[in-house]
Amino acid sequence: MSFNDIFKSSFLENVTAVSVTDMLLTIVLAFCIGLFIFFVYKKTYQGVMFSASFGVTLIALTMITSQVILAVTSNVVLSLGMVGALSIVRFRTAIKEPLDIAFLFWSIAVGIILAAGMIPLAVIGSVIIGLILLIFVNKKSSRNPYIVVLSCENHAAEQAAMQFLQAQTEHCVVKSKSAQAGLVELNTEVRLKGDNTDFVNEISAMPGIHSAMLVSYNGDYMA
């Protein structure tokens, strides 16, 4: 077997292994669904600072995964080499939001499903997942926990503020307390009865209260 025979049997056959129609259809669908994933990510993002680059990464990841799987499904030998090549890749980017992991897996899964030719599953499944995320992630509840930070002058002012706070909220628990000469600071977790937060203004106007601050709390950060 000459060198030309080896070249023809390995390279030229792989050129036509995947048709141009399949390539274009897979790439276009991957881009469209990746764009939909980016839209859902943007609408459901609840972090501190929105990262547009991560949204673009979701689109690129969907398209790249579909091309890789399309190449793997067309050549068994290439699939073995691809497994070995990807096994040495290490990703060290920190994922700050737990929901971001779901979007990454969603993009990868869509790319795999599209390259496998299961177009209805990729389209219908993505629409259902997107609607569920839009409904449940953006659902607001007045029972979300809040932190009330109080700065009191003395013990009497502290007691009066706590009694008023317990009367205005459904749930009130002291999380931390610090005291020094002429100053008592309280961090209290509360759950509101509704959307009205005017009670903070009333507490700050009480005798012996230096300041009162209300912040939302999700367990990771305050905003």
Q: Which helix (H) or strand (E) holds 99?
A: helix 98-115
Give, in order, the Cα–Cα distances in Å from 115 to each of 64, 107, 156, 157, 158.
10, 12, 69, 67, 64
**Residue 99: inside a domain, yes or no?**
yes
Q: Are residues 113 and 149 in the same domain?
A: no
Q: Are residues 182 and 208 in the same domain?
A: yes
Phi, psi of 52 (to 5 degrees): -70, -30
Mean pLDDT of the chain: 79
Q: Of residues 93 and 156, which shows the higher confidence score?
A: 156
Query: What letter would DSSP give residue 15?
Result: H
Residue 163 clears pLDDT 50, i.e. is over it: yes
- pLDDT reported for residue 171: 83
Q: Are residues 47 and 120 in the same domain?
A: yes
**In angstroms, rounded to a whole number, what is the distance separating the alpha carbons of residues 104 and 96?**
13
Residue 123 clears pLDDT 80, i.e. is over it: yes
**In angstroms, rounded to a whole number, what is the distance separating the alpha carbons of residues 137 and 9?**
53
- pLDDT reported for residue 6: 46
Q: Are residues 120 and 185 in the same domain?
A: no
**Residue 27: inside a domain, yes or no?**
yes
Residue 3 clears pLDDT 70, i.e. is over it: no
Question: pLDDT of 44-62, one tens digit each?
Answer: 887 667 778 888 989 999 9
**In angstroms, rounded to a whole number, what is the distance separating the alpha carbons of residues 223 and 219?**
11
Domain that holds residue 22: 3-137
Residue 41 clears pLDDT 60, i.e. is over it: yes
**Residue 221: inside a domain, yes or no?**
no
Query: What letter would DSSP give residue 85?
Result: H
Highest mean pLDDT among 6-20, 142-156, 158-172: 158-172
Q: Are residues 127 and 172 in the same domain?
A: no
Band of residue 37 on the pLDDT scale cut at 50, 70, 90 = very high
Burial of 62: CB neighbours in 10 Å, binned 0-12, 13-18, 19+: buried
Q: Are residues 29 and 71 in the same domain?
A: yes
How many percent of the chain have pLDDT more than 90?
Answer: 17
Query: What letter would DSSP give residue 168?
Result: H
**Residue 223: inside a domain, yes or no?**
no
Contact 75, 17 (CB under 8 A): yes
Number of domains in the chain: 2
Least confident range from 113-117, 137-141, 152-156, 157-161: namely 137-141
Q: Are residues 9 and 63 in the same domain?
A: yes
Decide which of 116, 137, 158 is a domain's last residue. Answer: 137
Q: Are residues 73 and 128 in the same domain?
A: yes
Decide which of 75, 110, 137 is a domain's last residue. Answer: 137
**Residue 174: inside a domain, yes or no?**
yes
Residue 13 clears pLDDT 70, i.e. is over it: no
Decide which of 106, 137, 168 is a domain's last residue. Answer: 137
Residue 124 clears pLDDT 50, i.e. is over it: yes
Burial of 69: CB neighbours in 10 Å, binned 0-12, 13-18, 19+: buried
Tell me the β-bridge partners of 192: 169
- pLDDT reported for residue 52: 81
Nearest by Cα to 195 from 172, 168, 221: 168
Residue 125 clears pLDDT 90, i.e. is over it: yes
Tell me the β-bridge partners of 186: 150, 177
Q: Are residues 157 and 123 in the same domain?
A: no
- pLDDT reported for residue 106: 92
Tell me the β-bridge partners of 150: 186, 212
Look up the CATH number of the domain holding residue 155. Answer: 3.30.70.260
**Residue 222: inside a domain, yes or no?**
no
Phi, psi of 189 (to 5 degrees): -90, 130
